[in-house]
């Protein structure tokens, strides 16, 4: 008798389906030998992930596969798919968590963390656990949620069976080494890599980016605007790469040659000195972050450091360090990682192309000009052959509704408009009958109205059902998108009651929080709900994937 197979349409991710299918296959493999006893006798290790962009989900899925290969029962679940109270029934747990905002849990872990951190939560004396955190050392709360989960589980009486791992933005090698040691702590080893020959088909990825030709570099602001925002178009022809609206493009930029030369001069090193066969100057141009000053760098800096420093050049100029050699210097630097940008195009509207909407970062601080690495590279310094190394990354938690009749509300001020240009192009290309409402804001209507002609056309054709704009500096009182949401609260509530999905993209520190509060206020006021009931309503939207955020 053949075992039933979990269909792709079932509400499980790929790793969960793999485990369930394997479990069912074991049950059906030999009915005379009570296979269920064998199947359930495996040690169970629950893998939970808290993910905003999808990186933690991908890592957790990979860990689950390796655990199953090593002979464990290893269900892999998002934290919003597992009740924290059920941890008391578990024996072994692995948590993989990113951090959102300033030390907060990702959206799919808010309820889990709230329950776990409750003073009345039961003790977990019978649980052993390990935690891997993903973060960015440029932020004060580096791996904040990973640390919080680790400390809270310990406080509840659980036993840490492997040290916590903290990963920076370039997390692949660190996470792999952490999991290998964690497997050993469980009494197993990682699966050996296959010796099978690799496919001759080139697969482009973060480790092997595609040299995409830059086709368009267009200023979106009027010439007299105080801001500089660009529309970039890249060719993906010949790459075999594909994406969906809502996804992200990773771009590898290069450092400003003038800043590189200034840093080399400040630390008195020879630009031709070799770093793993590459001249120091070239290595600093392409491989190392020469801006960020991390706590780890300050600890190892060859001269005592007092005060705060904005960038490495400030630190070097103030302390005049002398390094033994170039390797001693670059050992203090982080790798120059890619910049991730929300894609602003639909592949159906622009085959073999991918578009970006990027603010050129340039400002003055402490008497010297500062420049964003990747944004100024794209705007001003792309290679002579006009190619840029890129890769695609799936945004698993920022997807348009599969039901094309569902209404969509999009809140995207500034460059947050990027994914919603893509959403609207996709809705037009697929003749989606669902209504579309866009909230867009910027300082001035006359100079900062991105894609105005495109959106006017979408309004004329009916693709864009409703447009609400907020020009913060065009009047004495500043007006933002969250203000427009409150003004239209009654209609916003009606759309939500019709099943509308709400999407937010842009600044995480202020805008996203203010928009979230405006949403809660609209639900409470126009839904005639208590504050607690309004909170539950918004939480239910998140669980149903009707409220998604791409914030940074």
The domain locations on the chain are: 42-185, 210-253+338-393, 257-330, 408-551
Task: Please state, in angstroms and rounded to a whole number, the distance separating the CA atoms of residues 264 and 530.
Answer: 61
Residue 28 pLDDT? 46
> Counting Cβ atoms within 10 Å, is residue 21 exposed (0-12), middle (13-18) or buried (19+)?
middle
Is the alpha carbon torsion for 299, 305, 309, 311 positive or negative? negative
Cα–Cα distance list, 397 to 55, 379, 405 (Å): 11, 29, 20
Token couple for 498: 């019709």
Confidence check: pLDDT of 480 > 50: yes
Domain 408-551 matching CATH 3.30.70.890: the answer reads no
pTM: 0.85
Residue 14 pLDDT? 47
Residue 41 pLDDT? 61
Residue 136 pLDDT? 83
| Lowest mean per-residue pLDDT among 191-195, 416-420, 453-457, 522-526 | 191-195
User: Which tens digits make up the pLDDT trace of 52-102?
Assistant: 878 899 899 999 999 999 999 999 999 999 999 999 999 999 999 998 877
Residue 142 pLDDT? 87
Residue 442 pLDDT? 98
Residue 170 pLDDT? 82
Confidence check: pLDDT of 386 > 70: yes
Confidence check: pLDDT of 229 > 70: yes
In this prediction, residues 181-199 reach a mean pLDDT of 68
Task: Please compute, for residue 204, the number of CA atoms within 13 A of its CA located in the half-sphere on the CB side.
Answer: 20
| CATH of segment(s) 42-185 | 3.40.50.360
42-185 with 210-253+338-393: one CATH topology?
Answer: no
Token couple for 51: 């993910």
In this prediction, residues 141-149 reach a mean pLDDT of 92
> Counting Cβ atoms within 10 Å, is residue 534 exposed (0-12), middle (13-18) or buried (19+)?
buried
Residues whose CB is less than 8 angstroms from the CB of residue 490 and which lie 6 or more positions away in sequence, other chains included = 526
The percentage of residues in the chain with a pLDDT greater than 70, rounded to a whole number, is 90
Task: Please state, in angstroms and rounded to a whole number, the distance separating the CA atoms of residues 380 and 375.
Answer: 8
β-strands 248-251, 339-342 pairing = antiparallel
| Lowest mean per-residue pLDDT among 350-359, 388-397, 436-445 | 388-397
pLDDT, averaged across the chain:
91
* Contact assessment for residue 408 and residue 500, using Cβ atoms and an 8 Å cutoff: yes
Residue 289 pLDDT? 96
Residue 24 pLDDT? 53
Residue 54 pLDDT? 82
Task: Please state, in angstroms and rounded to a whole number, the distance separating the CA atoms of residues 410 and 503.
Answer: 5
Collapsing DSSP to helix, strand or coil, 503 comes out as strand
Confidence check: pLDDT of 33 > 90: no
Residue 7 pLDDT? 55
Residue 39 pLDDT? 41
Residue 66 has φ and ψ, to the nearest 5°, of: -70, -35
pLDDT grade for 12, boundaries at 50, 70 and 90: low
Residue 32 pLDDT? 40
Confidence check: pLDDT of 195 > 90: no
Is the alpha carbon torsion for 154, 156, 161, 162 positive or negative? negative
Confidence check: pLDDT of 15 > 90: no
Q: Between 192 and 308, name the one with better pLDDT.
A: 308
The percentage of residues in the chain with a pLDDT greater than 90, rounded to a whole number, is 81
In this prediction, residues 224-253 reach a mean pLDDT of 97
Confidence check: pLDDT of 175 > 60: yes
In this prediction, residues 6-16 reach a mean pLDDT of 52
Residue 299 pLDDT? 93
In this prediction, residues 35-44 reach a mean pLDDT of 57
Confidence check: pLDDT of 377 > 90: yes
Q: Between 104 and 487, name the one with better pLDDT.
A: 487
Q: Transcribe 509-526 into DSSP letters.
A: TTHHHHHHHHHHHHHHHH
Residue 89 pLDDT? 96
In this prediction, residues 155-169 reach a mean pLDDT of 95
In this prediction, residues 218-227 reach a mean pLDDT of 96
| CATH of segment(s) 210-253+338-393 | 2.40.30.10
In this prediction, residues 264-281 reach a mean pLDDT of 97
In this prediction, residues 499-509 reach a mean pLDDT of 95
Cα angle, residue 105 at apex, residues 178 and 156 outer, rounded to 5°: 70
pLDDT grade for 31, boundaries at 50, 70 and 90: very low
Residue 199 pLDDT? 46
In this prediction, residues 433-462 reach a mean pLDDT of 98
Confidence check: pLDDT of 26 > 70: no
């Amino acid at each position: 008798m053949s075992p039933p197979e979990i269909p792709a349409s079932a509400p499980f991710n790929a790793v969960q389906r793999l485990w369930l299918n394997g479990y069912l296959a074991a049950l059906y493999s030999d009915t005379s030998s009570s296979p269920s006893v064998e199947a359930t006798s495996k040690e169970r290790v629950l893998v939970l992930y808290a993910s905003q962009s999808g990186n933690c989900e991908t890592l957790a899925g990979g860990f689950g596969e390796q655990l199953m290969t090593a002979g464990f029962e290893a269900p892999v679940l998002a934290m919003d798919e597992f009740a924290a109270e059920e941890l008391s029934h578990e024996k072994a747990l692995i948590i993989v968590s990113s951090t959102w905002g300033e030390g907060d849990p990702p959206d799919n872990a808010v309820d889990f963390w709230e329950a776990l951190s409750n003073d009345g939560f039961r003790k977990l004396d019978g649980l052993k656990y390990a935690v891997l955190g993903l973060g960015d050392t440029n932020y004060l709360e580096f791996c904040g949620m990973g640390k919080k989960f680790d400390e809270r589980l310990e406080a509840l009486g659980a036993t840490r069976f492997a040290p916590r791992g903290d990963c920076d933005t370039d997390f692949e090698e660190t996470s792999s080494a952490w999991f290998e040691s964690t497997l050993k702590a469980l009494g197993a080893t990682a699966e050996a890599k296959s010796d099978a020959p690799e496919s001759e088909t080139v697969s482009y990825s973060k480790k092997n980016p595609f040299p995409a030709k830059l086709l368009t570099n267009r200023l979106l602001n009027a010439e007299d605007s105080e801001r500089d925002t660009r529309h970039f178009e890249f060719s993906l022809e010949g790459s075999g790469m594909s994406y969906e609206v809502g996804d992200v493009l990773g771009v590898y930029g290069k450092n400003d040659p003038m800043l590189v030369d200034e840093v080399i001069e400040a630390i008195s090193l020879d630009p031709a000195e070799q770093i793993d066969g590459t001249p120091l100057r070239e290595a600093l141009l392409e491989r190392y972050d020469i801006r960020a000053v991390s706590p780890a760098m300050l600890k190892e800096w060859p001269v005592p450091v007092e005060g705060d420093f904005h960038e490495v050049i400030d630190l070097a100029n103030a302390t005049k360090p002398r390094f033994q050699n170039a390797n001693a210097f670059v050992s203090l630097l982080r790798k120059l990682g890619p910049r991730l940008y929300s894609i602003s195009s639909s592949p159906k509207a622009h085959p073999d192309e991918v578009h970006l909407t990027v603010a050129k970062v340039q400002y003055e601080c402490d008497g010297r000009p500062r420049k964003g690495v990747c944004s100024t590279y794209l705007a001003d310094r792309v290679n002579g052959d006009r190619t840029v190394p890129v890769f695609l990354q799936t945004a698993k938690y920022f997807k348009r509704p599969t039901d094309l009749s569902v209404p969509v509300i999009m809140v995207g001020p500034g460059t947050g408009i990027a994914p919603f240009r893509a959403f609207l192009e996709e809705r037009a290309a697929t003749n989606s009958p669902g209504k579309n409402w866009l909230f867009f804001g910027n300082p001035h209507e006359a100079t900062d109205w991105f894609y105005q002609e495109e959106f006017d056309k979408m309004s004329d054709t009916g693709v864009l059902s409703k447009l609400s704009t907020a020009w913060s500096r065009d009047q004495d009182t500043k007006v933002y998108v969250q203000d427009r949401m409150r003004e239209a609260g009654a209609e916003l509530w009606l759309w939500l009651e019709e099943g509308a999905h709400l999407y937010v993209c842009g600044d995480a520190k202020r805008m996203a929080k203010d928009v979230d509060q405006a949403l809660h206020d609209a639900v409470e006021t126009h839904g005639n709900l208590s504050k607690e009931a309004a909170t539950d309503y918004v939480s239910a939207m998140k669980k149903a994937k009707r409220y998604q955020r791409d914030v940074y």
